[in-house]
Chains A and B, each alone.
Chain A
Amino acid sequence: MRFTETRAALLFISPWLIGFFIFTAWPVINSAYLSLTDYDVINDPNFIGFDNYVTLFEDPKVGLALRNTFIFTVMSVPAQLVVSLGLALLLNAATRASGFFRTAFFLPKMTPPVAIGILLLMLFNGQNGLINSFLAIFGIDGPAWTTDPDWVKPGLVLMSLWTVGASVVIILAALRGVPQELYDSALVDGAGWWRRTLRITVPMISPTLFFLFIVDSINALQSFTEAYTAFFGSGNTTYSNDAALFYTIYLFQQAFEFLHMGYASALAWLLFIVIMAITVVQILLTRRFVHYEGGQP
């Protein structure tokens, strides 16, 4: 009986088991090995020990790409959290038509990231883009978002705020789960809106905010498509911009444009270590601010 159940279970999970060995376990081992080689796909891998890892620390572009990626993450993740929390609170406060507004906030999330990269170039164009035309109404002379190295990342961050729709939906679901009694007793105590939000709402949904903080950071550290579309690719000399060189873009270039598969594998492992380290630090630093109803899960 026990044996037949195990056999049946193994049959059901066999697709994942096979896939795990072919597309995860073996690639992880192979990637670790390749990172110790010089490999261009055409010729056999040439074992060179830790040379690639030494090169990593001497390659100025690695430093640049890491810096770009950090700056983007540090700016975009808190901004996304604040905006999505704000929009979710507004939606939660609206008694009617919240479905319509939710749809409006969510729709941009459906846009293919390539199209978002193109929209970025159009909307943030320094001379005649929509954003600067809008700023001009208030007499503000907007920057050259798409060409000035100092403004490329802020532009990418603002563009990333356009796709917070999924976070809004997640936070809204959490808000609706906060028990009404808590607010009722706070109202009796005469607590104002701000106080209720800061003392009740935010602590009650802190597990959700924590989850989004971690996931958004991991995603931001691996940003690729929007920046690659707008600022890189063949024939793109006009907008080619080192300020938008994110780590994953540099890795992609090394691997598939220059065919430095060994070096790119080393880059991938550095990324893995960086993401792990950042995630662990984030969890350790923010865990005590997270409130779990009924104790730690």
Chain B
Amino acid sequence: MKRRIRLILTWTALSAFALAFIYPFIWLLSASFKPRSEVFDHRILPETFTFDNYIKVWQEAPLALWMFNTLLVTVLAAVAVTITSAMVAWGFAYFRFPGRGALFGVVLATMMLPGAVTMIPVFLIWNSLGMVGTLTPLWAQNLFGSAFYIFLLRQFFMGLPREPFEAAKIDGANNWKIFTRIALPLCKPAVVVTLLFEFQAAWTDLMRPLIYLRDSSTFTVPRGLKALLDQFGFGGEWHWEIVMTASVITTIPMIILFFLGQKHFVKGIATTGSKG
């Protein structure tokens, strides 16, 4: 009996919290279908149901272009960082060479460096290459791997048994083949986690687009959303319904991404904690 009461209490608390966490989504989604005057009426179902906001956002902002820009940056960033981080992680996990421990220590140390320290000189590098204003600085750095993913993937590679690799070596497979044909496929869950994490990070980033993008036609969706907020939310116009609709459009791809890769997301994040 006592057990039952406790279970009911747990469920009630969980449901209340879950509602509190989900409610902002429902509120936002619902507001995006309301006319301007009803946005703040807090009804779950709009009194006047309208698609106007979506049409207006589409007319006011080059959303399709922003989506395309973001998708381009996101895919390039995720694919680049996954391939190179996996390569580097494999280099650290499989081979034995002098200075390996020290060098890997440097990889870990770079994670401790606040982004603010390198932000300005890195901007100056892209500036001297004439790339400021293009999408390149948003992803090209990922061609050189990223410390966090190198760490994550290395942990995974270290957990693999050595026998299949030694056997392949005796069969005459070269190092690249061993990596791409045996190690990578065995490490698929970690590779998927890296892809998903970086996809999310690149899609949602605001700071780099703020630094590097100047012209509206090059904006990513979050950068465009900030511009819409500055124009329609502030700037004396108070068209919050436009801003909210654009927020919905920016968020939905990430929600879809989560449901596509839910298992990997949850597992990946749980591992991040235990490896710290």
Residue pair B118, A169 in contact (C-beta under 8 Å): no
The stretch of B52-60, B158-166, B186-194, B233-241 in contact with A is B233-241
Interface size class on chain A is 35 or more
Question: Counting chain A CB atoms within 10 Å of each CB, which of B94, B110, B119, B258 scores highest?
Answer: B119
Is there contact, CB below 8 Å, between B251 and A208?
no
Closest CB in chain B relative to A2 CB, distance in Å: 8
Chain A residue nearest to B248 in the complex (CB): A115
**Binding site secondary structure of chain A:** helix
The answer to whether A169 and B28 touch (CB under 8 A), given A12-B179, A15-B88, A15-B144, is no
Could you tell me how many residues of chain B have their Cβ less than 8 Å away from some Cβ of chain A?
96
Inter-subunit contact A23/B141 (CB<8 Å): yes
Main secondary structure of the interface of B (DSSP, over half): helix
Q: A85-121: contact bitstring with B at CB < 8 Å (1 yes, 0 no)?
A: 0010011011100001111111110111111011101
* Contact across chains for B88 and A12 when beta carbons are under 8 A apart: yes
> Which residues in A have their C-beta under 8 angstroms from that of B200?
110
Q: Which of A169-191 contact B (CB under 8 A)?
A: 169-174, 177
B207 (CB) vs chain A CBs: closest residue: A224
A12–B95 CB distance below 8 A: yes
* A90, B13: Cβ atoms closer than 8 Å: yes
Which chain A residues lie closer than 8 Å to B141 at the CB level? Answer: 19, 23
Which of B95, B96, B115, B258 gathers the greatest number of chain A CB atoms within 10 Å? B95
Q: Kindly report which residue of chain A lies nearest to residue B243, judged by CB atoms.
A: A118
Q: Is B116 an interface residue (CB 8 A)?
A: yes
26 contacts between A and B (CB under 8 A): A6-B98, A9-B92, A15-B145, A16-B107, A23-B125, A23-B144, A26-B121, A27-B118, A27-B122, A31-B120, A41-B124, A90-B13, A93-B6, A93-B7, A93-B10, A102-B266, A108-B21, A108-B25, A113-B222, A166-B269, A229-B206, A229-B226, A229-B229, A237-B234, A255-B123, A275-B114
Please give the residue numbers on chain B whose beta carbons come within 8 Å of chain A beta carbons, in ascending order: 6-7, 10-11, 13-15, 17-18, 21-25, 27-28, 31, 40, 42, 84-85, 87-88, 90-92, 94-98, 100, 103, 106-107, 110, 112-125, 127, 141, 143-145, 147, 150, 175, 179, 200, 203-204, 206-207, 210-211, 221-222, 225-226, 229-231, 233-235, 240, 243-244, 247, 250-251, 254-255, 257-258, 262, 265-266, 269-274, 276
Closest 7 CB pairs between A and B? A19-B144, A12-B91, A170-B273, A27-B121, A9-B95, A173-B270, A112-B204
